[in-house]
Structure 1
Amino acid sequence: MSLIQDIRQFAKSSLTQAKQKYDDFNIYDFASQQLNLRTAKTGFSLSEDIDYGEHPRQCFDLYYSDQPRADQAIIVFVHGGTWARGDKSDYLFLAESFTQSGFHVAVINYRLAPVHQFPDFVDDLVLALNHLSMHQQELDISMQHVILMGHSAGGFNVMSALYSPTDYELLCRANIRAVVGLAGPYHFKYVGDASLEKAFNKAIDYQTVMPYYFVQHNQIEHILLLAQNDVMVAAQNTKDMHQALLDQGNSSRIVTIPRTGHVTLVGSVSSHFARYFKTKKVILTHIEASLRHFQLEDQTKT
């Protein structure tokens, strides 16, 4: 091989590696890494990599608040990443923040696209929730008061666990007090978008998939947060889902968080930034209202 050919081959290889590094880089990863570095490792204890299935991605981390609430309420959080990336370890900052408010927090991993498509990642969430319910004593938790929370693709997963073409046997369904959706996509067409097509079967019509079309009446409080400067997920997703929930007589509220984008919205709940944004305060206000409502109902029944 000549010197010129050597140079060309080296250049081609370097460009390929550079492209791969660019493709692998993700603002989620960078932002969460920076937040996690600034997050105190106090106020909670952590049990990592608890399996709820046989696949390596079917596991979760469980954060125990050092000063748990009297009602032992638990937040189950599902990460985003276009169903193709992301990891539970990226969300130490979120878990730490809510353990400071007395919540235990479970952060769920799920199987990823393109190897796995809808409904695999929703199936995983249901499986994880049922595992938490069936192993409460072993895990030293209570699933009597459950708050589901998801960011971006995770918001879709959370909504789809409740509103889906599949009639899931969800053991904690009656104990879900609130759903918090952070910039979630709930009503969209995925055909024609290369990144979204990886996670869904193009041959299946989106109207047979989106949680928007399967909303049922219940007593759950829905808190739907929008980032003011979100350029990744259209606000109409949230507005459509909100209206579908209201049409079924459900409780739903939309709150727009100023000065946030798609990624910074979830970052704004961290202890490091919570005082500068209203995100965490809004979430806690509505969760507390929902928990009080159910506590009053329980007292009335007794």
Structure 2
Amino acid sequence: MKTRRTLVLGGGLAATTLALAACSPTRALNALLPSSTHVLTPDLPYGPDPRQRFDLYQPTTPQPGAGYPVVLFLYGGSWNRGARADYRFVGEALASRGVLALVADYRLYPQVRYPEFLHDCARALAYALRESSRLDGDPQRVFVIGHSAGGYNAAMLALDARWLAAEGASPRQLAGWVGLAGPYDFVPIVNPDVRPVFHHPDVPPDSQPIHHAEQPAIRTFLGAATNDSLVDPQRNTGQLAQRLRRGGTSVTLRWYDRVNHGTLAGAFARPLRWLAPVLDDVDAFVKAA
């Protein structure tokens, strides 16, 4: 999903102005990254298409006996835009906490529509499950994390087994999933950028994560900004948490007051962590597995 909101930061950040959203440039945040926390291996393939690539962030902290926890991160952008290079600050943040991070691209509209981008995300996640040991990761602690449209993608992989099944894998192989400001119940579609992605007006009913939340699912972390004007936090995050819990799923729910839709993801970055403890909360969820 996208937003054009701009956050003006003052004080020690020298009034840096950043247009932070799931699809906007984040060069200022990425320019401030330390190099000592991670080893970056860019442009690794998980499929044949040029968009089926990921960047790998390996921690420089000592490797645990069973390997590092592993996270596949999926960004947002209304399924229309986005690039893994814009989210270096997320990969670095996770690696700095001793988490092996894969930040992946996937095909976007108009190259593909629903559900093809889910096949890409499932393929990337199956790669993480299959190759985690080779990458010094722990195959018993693999997670998928997504923000905005990427949160939708993560939800579908975690809650609807058919996507991973097509890749010879299962959500039950995951140690958990994280959705940040994801759209989980957005029919009727009002965003004109999103309508063609989901074949509006013939949107498949089973395309909505909320319809896959009645049965017990894997451990879940849901986070959202209380004042998200782009993706209704109560309808989407609040409702999904309620329905998952009703179905017997363990859900950690966090609301953040000082961020909006875009800066919720931006809070992974060192200069913006004062806005919300998103990284701390996600790290605690991953380490508790």
TMscore range, shorter length: 0.7 to 0.9
Q: Describe the SS at the equivalent of 2:42.
A: strand
Give the match for residue 178 of structure 1. 176
Whether 2:223 is the aligned partner of 1:225: answer yes
Note closer, same or farther for the CA distance 1:134–1:222 as it changes in structure 2 (3 Å cut): closer
State the Cα distance separating 1:88 from its structure 2 match. 0.7
- In 2, Cα distance between equivalents of 1:90 and 1:103: 19
Take 1:259 and 1:50, find their aligned partners in 2: how far apart are those partners? Answer: 36
Cα distance in 2 for residues equivalent to 1:166 and 1:172: 8
CA distance 1:216–1:123, change in 2 (3 Å): farther
Asked if the contact 2:40–2:57 (Cα under 8 Å) also holds between the matched residues in 1, the reply is yes
The TM-score with structure 2 as length reference comes to: 0.84
Deviation at 1:216, TM superposition (A): 5.6
In the other structure, the counterpart of 2:6 is none
Partner of 1:59: 53
Distance of aligned partners of 1:149 and 1:137 in 2 relative to their CA distance in 1, 3 Å threshold: closer
Q: Which amino acid aligns with 2:87?
A: Y
Q: Say whether 1:130 aligns with 2:126.
A: yes
Partner of 1:282: 281
Secondary structure of the corresponding residue to residue 92 of structure 1? helix
Which residue among 188, 196, 199 is the counterpart of 2:197? 199
- Cα offsets for 1:228-267 (capped at 9, x unmatched): 2211111111112112211210011221112100110001
Q: Normalization by structure 1: what TM-score?
A: 0.81
CA–CA separation in structure 2 for the residues paired with 1:40 and 1:68: 18
- 3-state DSSP of counterpart to 1:131: helix
Does the C-alpha gap of structure 1 residues 263 and 167 become closer, same or farther in structure 2, counting only changes over 3 Å? closer
Q: Note the C-alpha offset of 1:202.
A: 1.8
Deviation at 1:119, TM superposition (A): 0.8
Q: Distance in 2 between matches of 1:119 and 1:68?
A: 39
In the alignment, does 2:35 pair up with 1:41?
yes
Structure with the largest fraction of helix: 1
CA RMSD of aligned residues (A): 2.2
Change beyond 3 A, Cα 1:68–1:122: farther
Q: Does the residue aligned with 2:127 lie in a helix, a strand or coil?
A: helix
Q: Match of 1:154?
A: 150
Structure 1 unaligned spans of 5+: 1-24, 292-302
Contact 1:99 1:105 in 2 (8 A): yes
CA distance in 1, matches of 2:199, 2:266: 31
5 Å-filtered alignment, 1:96-107, equals: 96-107=92-103
Q: Percent identity?
A: 28
Number of residue pairs matched by the alignment: 266
Query: Which structure has the bigger radius of gyration?
Result: 1
More displaced 10-residue stretch of structure 1: 212-221 or 143-152: 212-221
Residues 76 and 108 in structure 1, CA contact (< 8 A), matched pair in contact too:
yes
Larger mean Cα displacement after TM superposition, 30-39 or 212-221: 212-221
The equivalent residue for 1:13 is: none
Q: 1:32, 1:90 within 8 Å by CA — same for their partners in 2?
A: yes
Give 5+ residue unaligned stretches, structure 2: 1-18
Distance 1:232 1:276, change over 3 A: closer
Aligned to 1:242: 241
**Corresponding letter in the other structure for 1:109:** D
- Measure the CA separation in 2 of the matches of 1:233 and 1:106: 25
Question: Is the Cα–Cα contact under 8 Å of residues 190 and 196 in structure 1 kept in the other structure?
Answer: no
Distance 1:177 1:143 in 2: 9
| Matched residue type, 2:210 | Y
Q: In 2, Cα distance between the equivalents of 1:191 and 1:269?
A: 29
CA distance in 1: counterparts of 2:162 and 2:171, whole angstroms: 14
Secondary structure of the 1:126 match is: helix
**Aligned equivalents of 1:139, 1:165: Cα separation in 2:** 25
Write the distance in 1 (CA, Å) between the matches of 2:148 and 2:284. Answer: 21
Q: Which amino acid aligns with 1:73?
A: P
